[in-house]
Structure formats: structure tokens, C-alpha cells
Copies of this chain bind each other. A is one copy, B any other.
């Protein structure tokens, strides 16, 4: 029970092993680096034994210092609270594992200052590269990476003036996919709800694609659709409760104006009243909307308004909302692969890897 917590007994060094094996450090080093061809099998056996006996483990820091590379890469995440981040992380970890890299995970928690500090810290630890899911698009703080600095690859969003590989969702296609789905389902009042997007390229792209898709529909109208569906963009600043309040109030006015929508599912008979749908730009927005609607219209809120979201959080199935799932795991995996290539010296111009989203239709948007 009462094990004496004695001070760590100083780990064995390569010198200790050499002495124990009755040889020089060089041979040990060679053994560690797999240069077996340069060791007599007899010596090798002695080394093996010595290592086991001393429970020796090479000091990565020291090796890194010497050879100039420590197999460390930084993974800078804007917000771990977003399931998206965690999922991407899984891919990153798998890839690192496969490539012999060690990811230093840093969580900026939506604070620019944190991001700056972590980047500085990573630099200080001489990571060989960084994968960054930046907070914003115009960050001076990211100057030390990419371009002339340390290799970097961007995830999900671009950063102005920072030339680097980037991998993420094909936002344009995804937003189109979602919009078309809602249109096909006959919704004629569609609100695209998104966090402030001037600062985040992926949000910008989604918003633009939404508007474009709505416009295209309007242009093609008359061919098969009877009425032109109306599209709106609503900004929801999740960082500011007061603003959220105001935005939601605006939304409520529209919903109230539309009045009591007939119960959906009436033998396929299309409703006379406008059918309204909300298109959330990501999961946090979707959650905020769902919570609000539930509070306002009760458990039955989905009968009144449909909800579709980019991102497919675990509660989506429970709430029965339609989603566009991002290939998060692959995004993370590819990011590491790109970075690894850069670290190995690949010099091609900055690459973009846009992966497709997958529409998952649930009760919320189907009759």
C-alpha cells in the first residue's frame, strides 16, 4: 500500500548503456537507429540485453537537438468544444501515428491571444510544422508560419496573406446541396443562419453559395416551381448573448408572421401557408437555434420549422434534424499528409484539398 514515492532515480543514458554493454556510445546509437548491418550479432545481443536491463529509453529531446528534427508537429485548434474539431483530431492522430509524428495539441478556446501564445510556444519547441484551424482570416499573429517560416497547412479556413496548403470541406458544393434539398422539399422561406462571417472564409463561402443557389432557383422558376422561394441570411454572434437575443427575435417575427403553419404530413397535400426552413451553417448554430425554438414553441417545434445543418453532431439523430456531414476524419488525415510532404521538402505551390459533404436526410426536412 504505502509505496515510498522516492524521487525519480534518474533515467539511464546512452552512456550508461554503452558501459553496461561494454562498448561505445556509437554502437548504441547505431542500434537505436536500426543500422543493424553495421553490428556484429554478438554485439547486438549484448546491447539488447543492456537496454533491457537498464530499461533504457532514448531521450527524444536530445536527439532532436542533435539532428535538428524532433518529429513534433503542432495542431492549433480554434475551438475544441465544436465536435468538428474533435473529429478532425482523430484523423490527425491516426495519420501522425502512421507517419511517426507526435502532435502537440493546442486549444485556443476562441481567443486570439491564446492562439498567439501557443504559436509562439510551438515555435519555441521547434515543431517541424503546424496544422492550423485558425480563429480568423486576417491574423497577423500567424505571420511566423507558412511562406518563409515553418511549414503549415490550414484546416477548414484560409488565412489572408498566408500561402499554405489547405484542406477542408467543399463549402460551395455543400451549401448548394443543402439549399437544393430544402428547395426540393418545397420550403419557400429559407433562412441561412451563420456566425459572423467576415472573419472566417468557410462561413463566407457557405453564405455566398447559399445566396447563389437561391438566385439560381429564382432564375429557373416558372419551369417547374410555382412560387419563388425567398432566402435570407441571419447572422448569429454566439459570442455575444445580447446579439444572439436580437437575432433570434428577428427570426421570431418572421415565424410569427407566417402564422400557424398547417400540420405537415397531411396526405401530401401542400400547405397554403409558407413553409419555412432554417439552414444552420454549422453545429453550434444549429444547437443554438434548436434550443431557442424548443423554448419558444415547445417540444413540437419541428412541426413549425425545419432545420438543416452543416456538421453532423451526435445529437442530430436524436433531434431528427437533417445534416450535411463533413468528412472530418479524412480532413485531419490529409492535413497531416500534406504537412508531412512539406516537412520532407516538397516544394509545389500551395494546394487545396476540398472534400465533399454528405447529405443525411432526417425527419426535420422530409414530409
Contact = CB atoms under 8 A, between A and B. Distances in A.
A109 B150 CA distance: 29
A297 to B, nearest CB: 13
A228 interface: no
A149 to B, nearest CB: 7
Contacts of A347: 5
A176 interface: no
Contact of A80 (B7, B86, B125): B86
A5 B86 contact: no
A97 B315 CA distance: 32
A141 interface: no
A318 B3 contact: no
A7 to B, nearest CB: 8
A175 to B, nearest CB: 24
Interface residues of A, number: 58
Interface in A19-77: 57-62, 64-65, 70
A1 B291 CA distance: 44
Interface string A69-92: 010000000001100001001100
A177 interface: no
A107 interface: yes
User: How many copies of this chain does one complex carry?
Assistant: 2
A261 interface: no
Contact of A89 (B9, B107, B117, B319): B107
A147 B5 CA distance: 5
Contact of A59 (B124, B150, B291, B320): B124
Given A93-B109, A109-B90, A126 B60 contact: yes
A3 B163 contact: yes
A185 interface: no
A123 B105 CA distance: 17
Interface centre among A148, A151, A320 (most CB of B within 10 A): A148
A15 interface: no
Contact of A349 (B2, B11, B64, B109): B2
Given A80-B86, A149-B8, A93 B107 contact: yes
A294 B148 CA distance: 54
Nearest to A150: B8
Contact of A318 (B70, B80, B151, B290): B290
A6 B146 CA distance: 10
Contacts of A318: 287, 290-291, 294, 315, 319
Given A60-B124, A81-B86, A150-B8, A287 B315 contact: yes
Given A61-B70, A89-B107, A315-B318, 6 more contacts: A3-B147, A3-B163, A5-B148, A61-B126, A93-B109, A318-B319
13 contacts: A9-B148, A59-B124, A61-B64, A61-B65, A61-B70, A61-B126, A102-B125, A104-B105, A105-B105, A291-B318, A299-B320, A314-B315, A318-B319
